Amino acid sequence: MNKLNLCESEYRFACIVWEHEPLGSGDLVKHCHEKLGWKKSTTYTVLKKLCEKGVLKNENAIVSALVKREQVQKFESEQFLSKTFDGSLPQFIASFMSDKKLSSAEAEELKKLIDSFEG
């Protein structure tokens, strides 16, 4: 099982940790109640699961991430691209942009981004 493969609720939970880390487990319970509507028991269940996966750590009731948000986003993006578009970034962009218009600034920003990755 790949530790970067998070379900939606795990990802939303991890986002709370990434935004506030390091944070006490009591504060985590409060944030999860406010943002996710979770009870204390749900928070601790998901925390335990993500610690077992090696995504988070909980030492002395202080929770922090072992995996960066960007690592999970990269993994999820690659999985989606592979599954849905046979790994083709141009096919994904064409599909995504089929009914959208870019502003000149957005188009220029994308051009610069692409240029920065050219070999």
Predicted confidence (pLDDT) at residue 11 exceeds the cutoff of 90: yes
State if pTM tops 0.75.
yes
β-bridge partners, 24: 62
Confidence of residue 1 (pLDDT cuts 50, 70, 90): low
| Percentage of the chain lying above the pLDDT 70 cut | 98
Instruction: Give the tokens for residue 37.
Output: 């509507």
The sheet that has 56-59: what strands, in order across it?
Answer: 23-24, 62-65, 56-59
Question: In the chain, where do the E strands start and end?
Answer: 23-24, 56-59, 62-65
> Is 90 exceeded by the pLDDT of residue 74?
yes
Q: 83 is written with which tokens?
A: 């599954």
- Rounded Cα distance, 32 and 52, in Å: 19
Q: pLDDT digit string (tens) for 14-46?
A: 999 999 999 999 999 999 999 999 999 999 999
